[in-house]
Amino acid sequence: MTEDGTSTGPAHTGVTDQVCELREVLDRVGDKWSVLVMALLGDGPRRYSELRRSIEGISPRMLTLTLRSLERDGLVLRTVTPSSPPRVDYALTPVGRTLSAEVGGLIRWAEEHRSYIGRSRRVYDDGGAGDLPPV
Amino acid sequence: MTEDGTSTGPAHTGVTDQVCELREVLDRVGDKWSVLVMALLGDGPRRYSELRRSIEGISPRMLTLTLRSLERDGLVLRTVTPSSPPRVDYALTPVGRTLSAEVGGLIRWAEEHRSYIGRSRRVYDDGGAGDLPPV
DNA sequence: CGGGATCCCCCGCGATACTG
DNA sequence: CAGTATCGCGGGGGATCCCG
């Protein structure tokens, strides 16, 4: 698939072509709140106010924007119940769940390698003069 | 692990706790160029100027910043060869490859669901008045 | 060739106030 | 309760110039 055929890893099926598509997912998933919202919805449907209180730190504006964006992409389903106190529930769609699962892989990677990254940063920030500090 | 024990999906081992760690990975991977650089390096080591020409659109500033950041996290190895024309090679570290592989999962997800997302957006943007448009 | 320094612009995001 | 409208900032990232 690659131009030179140098198969050195599993993460390059077409390089720049796929990266273009990847950008969309990363933009989708890389913003500040989307993943957090999806993680919460992974435990089941939630109301707007539940999400708002659970996340604590998110502004109503950003919560709405995030939910709208996820709904637009077909990852979250919005259900309005027009009662005397209006009620709106949000839930992951099946496709939303598959993305959530995929992101789960990244979570596990983060757990596994967070200490490695932490160590790397310490070494790097230490100046680079002593690249073999005592444990 | 979850507070209520509602095991509804694979993507929530501790919800908010993990999301915190995930943020680091998403910040790492979510910026504009990191993944692209890693994808290129997935085909083998490259020189600075090779990367710069391959990516086309990246400024020297951003390429350097991206590479430095990846190097700091121990994901990319920088090798300086002090010759008459100075030469610097960059390559993925073993851990860098594992992240690259993990991201590969997202790429595949993107390929599989890009049309779904596209359709969802069309329907959503169409107004929401007719939510059952003819195929 | 491989970068650092500097300037500037854009927009993601937060805070606040108001509405159906 | 579930949002919408407006304002403002901070920083990510582009362009450009220069240096070892």
Q: Given a cut of 50, is residue A2 above it in pLDDT?
A: no
Q: Please state whether strand D lies within 7 Å of residue B29 at its CB atom.
A: no
Rounded to 10°, the helix A60-72/A34-41 angle is: 80
From CA B10, how far away is CA A123, in angstroms rounded? 35
**How many other CB atoms sit within 10 Å of the CB of residue B130?**
9
Choose the mutation target among A38, A102, A112, A126 for the interface with B, i.e. most B CBs under 10 Å.
Answer: A102
Residues of A in contact with B29 (CB under 8 A): 26, 30, 106
pLDDT tens digits, one per residue of A68-124: 999 999 999 999 998 888 999 999 999 999 999 998 898 899 889 999 999 999 999
Fold of B16-124: Arc Repressor Mutant, subunit A (1.10.10)
Mark yes or no for CB contact A104/B42 under 8 Å: no
Mutate which of B72, B106, B123 to disrupt the A interface (most A C-beta within 10 Å)?
B106
pLDDT tens for A22-64 read 788 889 999 999 999 999 999 999 999 999 999 989 999 999 9
Structure tokens at B100: 């690259």
Looking at residue B12, its pLDDT comes to 42
Which of B7, B66, B2 has the alpha carbon at shortest distance from B39? B66
How far is the alpha carbon of B75 from chain A, nearest alpha carbon, in Å? 8
Report yes or no: B78 and A39 within 8 Å, Cβ to Cβ: no
Sequence-separated (6 or more) residues with CB below 8 Å from residue B70: B34, B37, B38, B76, B96
The pLDDT of residue A14 is: 58
The tens digit of pLDDT for each residue in B60-80 reads 999 999 999 999 999 999 999
User: Are B39 and A19 an interchain contact pair (Cβ–Cβ within 8 Å)?
Assistant: yes
- Higher confidence at residue A100 or residue B11? A100
- Over range B23-48, report the average pLDDT: 92
Neighbouring-strand partners of residue A46: A90
Residue A67 has pLDDT above 70, yes or no: yes
- Whether residue B3 is predicted with pLDDT greater than 60 in this model: the reply is no
Q: Report chain A's mean pLDDT, rounded to a whole number.
A: 85
Nearest to B97 among A9, A19, A110 (CB): A9
